Amino acid sequence: MGNTRFIPALIVALLLLKFVVSFSIKTTTNISTDQSALLALKAHIINDSRNLLTTNCSIAFSVCKWIGVTCGSRHQRVIALDLSNMNLSGTVSPHIGNLSFLTLLNMKNNKFHGPLVAQLANLHRVKYIELSFNGFYGEIPSWFGSFPKLQYLFLSHNNFTGETPSDMFEGLPRLQELYLAKDGFSGKIPMSLFKCKKLQNISLENNTLEGFLPKEIKKLTMLRTLQLHNNLIEGVIPHQIGDLLNLEILNLCTNLFRGHLPPTIGHIPVTLGNLRDLQVLDLAYNDFSGTLSSSEINFLSSLANCNDLRFLGFGGNPLITGYLPPSIGNLSVSLQYFYVSGCNISGSIPGEIGNLTNLVILDLSRNNLVGSIPTTFTRLKHIQRLHLSSNFLRGPLQIDIGNWNVSEYLDFSQNQFSGTIPDSVCDRNNNLRYLALSDNQLEGILPLSLINCSELVALNVAGNHLSDTFPHWLGMLPKLRVLILRSNKFHGSIQDSNATSSFSKLQMLDLSHNDFTSLLPTKFFQNLKALKEVIEYRNDSYRFPANVTIKGLELKFAITARMPIFSTIDLSMNGFHGKIPGVVGELSLLHALNLSHNNLTGPIPTSFGNLIGLESLDFSFNKLSGRIPSQLTNLTFLEVVRFQNNNLVGPIPHGKQFGTFENDSYIGNLGLCGFPLSKEYNNDERPEAVQDEEGNGNGIAFIWKVAMMGYGCGMILGISMAYIVFTTRKPRWLVRMIERELQNKFSSWFQKKRN
């Protein structure tokens, strides 16, 4: 009887032992499969700059302890592989498909490249795929529909091309997050996408998608974010988008959407007002049209229902006209960013805009707004950036700018503001970094309160009627990089007797078209340290525009505050006289220098050969003498050079950039010779223009010769007038006309003499 009981127990024990051994062998085999797959992946990595895999992925210890690897507690199989942010480069091994228990794959922010291997389709358990910020390329394979459990798919910022497969989303019923931004995708939005009814976030921006936004968008009732900006999508916005009651972010800017505004906004539907959770609405830079008004229910009025709205933008739609209705003041007090730039909105700015007390950025620039700035703007205590440029606003600047302690960027340029700049512009320390008052009708002087703007980076007051001496005291601002005083009535000397005025950070200086009269200040140029050595700047996040004249053209530069800017010095169209200081040649980081239309004399300093970054150089319409220094051939970035209408002599330097300049760069210098001029230089004969210059110093001998040829109307009168004109160089139009005529006559005479 005892033996009978023993036999079944023995059988059970043997079966259990066999199962344990079998399970152990199977587990060992499977973990070995995972190890082999990971070793193959490691072998495909050609650069591990931080040695993370080299030191943390060894067969000496369990694969479950390798860096980035997580194993499941039940089967001890690899369930997660996280290699994100490791700066790895290489390709993905096909053996990765053998990680059959994998649920998470994260390779974000590395340098992997190549096409996606087909073996990824074997990962049937995967729920999370993150491959963003790499260099993967090729077309998106259709087998992405083979992940029935996939919830998160991130492929943004790679180099994929072609269209997304039409059936790509057929087999992804659980998909919640889709990020395919900046991947180079083209074609239409796949209709299969709208079968993924659990989608909460869609990011397809910065591609070349085209076609229409389908009305089937209404099926994605769980959608919270829809980002389609920077594509080529056209047509109208389907009104069904108002059914997406969970939508928080809708960004459709920079596409080809069209339609009329009222009464259905465009087919910008008033149903957007149903989206009570909406926080961001960006419709800028499309082809919307219509008229804003207060007489109709329009989309601005409907948005009053969106209590959490923080961002509203519909600028860059030039066919939008009308005026801003007073109902704008009913928008959510949560609104922080309001962009309406680049429309054709007219009328005055409604005072009700002052109700939006949490505004951080207000951009009404490039419209047709008239009237004055509402006094209610003083309520905007949190305003950091205010753009009112390029309108028809007028009247004095009555608002208390100094009351905005947190303001960083204020642009009132290209309007019709008059009066003086408020004394309180900076009556206390604040965060103001950019102040643009250019192209208005302001007069008076620069307020001394600007000295309190210790954070000021750029000041632009060009194109006004300001009458003042040079503001040396601005040199005490420790961060000032841009000073533009162009086209005003500034006068006097820019010599500085105050040693504390350094301008050490200055990189862009424009004093052109004023009435300065003095020697060029040596000390001033010596203090420009930012034009001699690279200076680090804090990481700012915005850019601001500045117009400068270089290469004979007035160009608009977008200055990035966190980077070295295009550095220029423009002192043209003034009355500066005397010699050019040699210390100017120490400004090796200078990109453009314009000294034209002054009364400068003497030679061009040879030290200018050290301006290795120079791209534009203008000496025209001065009284410079001597030869063009051969050292200027060292300026290999030089694109434009102007020596016109001086008293320069001798051969023109040749080689490098000087072989690209044409005759126009040298006209009006009768003693110059050599390429590209037709006049050749003779080593055995000194040019007659040089003899005249040394004999008389003012060109009278040359005028006498012309008069003797029959082109004078009275010797004494002609010589007297010529002396006055060429000494004072006024009027300038007459000087230019006479110099051109005399050059042509002299060339003909000289040619005949040679023959």
Beta-bridge partner residues of 392: 370
Largest distance between two CA atoms of the chain: 154
Neighbours of 665 (CB within 10 A): 20
In sequence order, which residues have a C-beta less than 8 Å from that of residue 135 and are 6 or more positions away?
111, 112, 113, 158, 159
Sequence ranges of the domains in the chain: 31-209, 508-651
Q: Which long-range contacts (CB under 8 A, 24 or more apart) does 61-64 make?
A: 63/31, 63/34, 63/35, 63/38, 64/31
Decide which of 3.30.70.100, 3.80.10.10, 3.40.50.300, 3.40.50.720 is the CATH code for 508-651. 3.80.10.10
**Quick one: tokens of 418?**
């008059």
Domain 31-209 belongs to what topology?
Answer: 3.80.10
| 461/436 Cα distance (integer angstroms) | 6
SS3 of residue 518 by DSSP: coil
Q: What is the dihedral of CA 385, 386, 389, 394, to 10 degrees?
A: -160
| 72/64 Cα distance (integer angstroms) | 9
Neighbours of 245 (CB within 10 A): 13
**CB 214, CB 238: distance < 8 Å:** yes
CA nearest 277: which of 238, 254, 303, 240?
303
Cα 377 to Cα 65, 347, 389, 397, 516: the distances in Å are 61, 17, 16, 12, 38
**Angle at CA of residue 749, ends 746 and 752, nearest 5°:** 150
**Quick one: tokens of 526?**
């010596």
**CB 626, CB 608: distance < 8 Å:** no
Output b/e per residue, 48-66; b: 16+ Cβ within 10 A: beeeebeeebeeeeebbeb
Phi then psi dihedrals of residue 650, to 5 deg: 85, 180
Helix (H) or strand (E) holding 706: helix 700-706
Chain-centre distance for alpha carbon 416: 27
One-letter identity of residue 261:
L
- CATH topology of 31-209 equal to that of 508-651? yes
Query: What confidence tens digit (pLDDT) does each residue in 590-640 have?
Result: 999 999 999 999 999 999 999 999 999 999 999 999 999 999 999 999 999
**CB 454, CB 531: distance < 8 Å:** no
| 395/490 Cα distance (integer angstroms) | 23
**CB 465, CB 488: distance < 8 Å:** yes
Chain-centre distance for alpha carbon 134: 24
pLDDT at site 74: 86
**Quick one: tokens of 266?**
């465009």
One-letter identity of residue 696:
N
Q: H helices then E strands: how many in the chain?
A: 8, 49
SS3 of residue 32 by DSSP: helix
Q: What share of the chain is helix, strand, coil (3-state, %, to 5)?
A: 30, 25, 50
Sign of CA dihedral 276, 279, 283, 289: positive
DSSP secondary structure, 259-287, as one string:
EE-TTT-TT--GGGGG-TT--EEE--SSE
Chain-centre distance for alpha carbon 239: 35
One-letter identity of residue 539:
N
| 667/452 Cα distance (integer angstroms) | 48
Q: What is the dihedral of CA 738, 743, 749, 754, to 10 degrees?
A: 160
Please state whether 71 falls in left (phi above 0), alpha (psi between -120 and 50) or beta.
beta
SS3 of residue 530 by DSSP: helix
- Mode of pairing for the β-strands spanning 543-550 and 553-560: antiparallel
pLDDT at site 753: 39
SS3 of residue 55 by DSSP: helix
pLDDT at site 59: 83
Give me the residues of the chain with pLDDT under 50, please.
1, 12, 14-15, 17-29, 261-267, 296, 541, 560-563, 684-720, 722-730, 732-737, 739-740, 742-755
Chain-centre distance for alpha carbon 338: 20
**CB 512, CB 570: distance < 8 Å:** yes
**Quick one: tokens of 31?**
């973990």
| 101/331 Cα distance (integer angstroms) | 51
* In 144-186, alpha helices (H): none
One-letter identity of residue 546:
A
Q: Strands across the sheet with 88-90, in order?
A: 45-48, 88-90, 111-114, 135-138, 159-160
pLDDT at site 561: 47
Instruction: Decide: residue 613, CB within 10 A, 0-12 exposed, 13-18 middle, 19+ buried.
Output: middle
pLDDT at site 95: 95
In sequence order, which residues have a C-beta less than 8 Å from that of residue 305 and are 6 or more positions away?
273, 274, 276
**CB 361, CB 382: distance < 8 Å:** no
Please state whether 697 falls in left (phi above 0), alpha (psi between -120 and 50) or beta.
left
Neighbours of 11 (CB within 10 A): 10
**Quick one: tokens of 56?**
């943390």
**Angle at CA of residue 361, ends 458 and 335, nearest 5°:** 170
| 548/566 Cα distance (integer angstroms) | 10
